[in-house]
Structure 1
Amino acid sequence: MTAGGIASREARAAARERLSVLVDSTSYLDVTVLAEQLAGVTALLDRETALRRVLTDPSQPGEPKAELVGRLLGDQVGGEVVDLVSGMVRARWSASRDLVDAVEELADLADLIGAERDGVLDTVEDELFRFGRIVVSSPELRTTLAGRVASTAHREAKVALVRRLLGGRAQPVTERLVARLVERPRGRSLEGGLEDLSKLAAERRNRSVAVVTTAVPLSDTQQRRLGAALARLYGREIRLNLDVDPNVLGGISVRIGDEVIEGTVAGRLDAVDRRLD
């Protein structure tokens, strides 16, 4: 998912807010169905280039575009999805593909909200990270899952493999999110897509994700100290996704977004503590 220009970022933020309001105010809403229907709209817009250009044409007023959405989707999806997408096409977008990215993000977010409702959001976040580590450590698996989709049969085979790998071993929502990603990567790397999902899960709790790679496992005390130090440094809660690699330079590498902090475990922790005390 790309950040897009200023107009697209504002439109995406507004769409996410509308989704949150919808879910919070509608107790009967099945967010799993909502997510699947939004994913279907994503596939439609990704496939129909001319349609998404019409729906994001800045020279056209928003209301006729919203009416077009109603005519196209009204018999295919629920009214909540029609309302969400209609609101999105009324907004201004920097590029037509930004609309597709945003609808896809809403689908993923709806599933993550469902995980939060069920009390398993932390588990899903951890499973996404762990699956990403498995993919990185297995070139054969990565090639199989990330290979270019040449046919419907190939796409279905990749989804079936994900279901065999995760079925019964992970939360159903984790399985759905990964299956959608491998079925329709939309130009993303598998690792990049999994990282996007992990970040979206963290943002749902207003947290950032720190990918911490150490030469040796951190003790519980070291994990608490590192998490507290990073939270003080960045001014928000930081979730630690932990990995072990004996070859990591300096003993530890901490990556938050595009920023990387490296150094020895004890030295870096003590240095951060001294700077912030």
Structure 2
Amino acid sequence: MAPSKKKHASGTEACVIPGGFTVLSLQFSSNSVAQHKLYVKEHKVRAEKSSHRPLDRTLFVLNIPPYCPEDVVKELFSQFGSIQSVELRDHPGSFQQSGPTLSRFFRPAEKQGFKVGYIVFQKSSSVTAVKSHPHNVPLIVSTEHHPVRTGVEKWIQQYTQTFIQPEKLQQMVDTFMEDYDKRKEEEAERQRMEAEQQQEDEEGWVKVTKGHKGAKARPHSEAANQRTLQKEIRKKKRKELMNFYTWQHRNTQKEHIAELRKKFEEDKQRIALLRAQRKFRPY
């Protein structure tokens, strides 16, 4: 039998469970009796090529409780080294960033529940320090220097944060619109450059270049546009023909059903007539 990966900690050793996860104890305050368990592991997904999660400096964390938002998680793990970024998600997955970063006032409300986290440190030694942390030395969530509100105080704080000054809101809207206009100008400039590169030369040849990712590059010439138009016309006619055949088949079915109903009524009348003409003859 292969030896277990779990180390029986004697007070100064880390607790490693099967799967390579290190167990960390989490305690809300120094006076709390109950403890929560976090499971951490070095992030080593080779398929992920994003620079936002470097393989040697990213820590993957499971079972993060709802009372630990990003700032609390950053404060908890900052004792192991300087932190570059903290990302909390509902489910593990690759890094996806589409479009501009929206303000918290324009983002939908987040789901309240346990989350997974990706913590990127400034140095790779910080990940090693987290993995070697003794499991019987809990991490304190709420301290005197960084208190965490709960209960009614938390609800009052969340309600107060929903209000925003009109000047600040106007500033965020202006910033978003400036970024939007900048992106639109860059997109228009890119399309103009592609159109110039795909112009016909003197002999009628068209240079086809690769467009942005996810787009199909095709020549922007009169002949190519005419071929595309003819193709769309043929496709439309073929669709109309298929619709006609479908209507014809449906009409044939209706006629067949009507004929069956008519025959059924005639049979009923014939049976009724035979019953009326029948006479009882005992001998």
TM range (shorter): under 0.3
Normalised TM-score (structure 1): 0.23
Normalised TM-score (structure 2): 0.23
Higher strand share: 2
Instruction: Flag the structure with larger Rg.
Output: 2
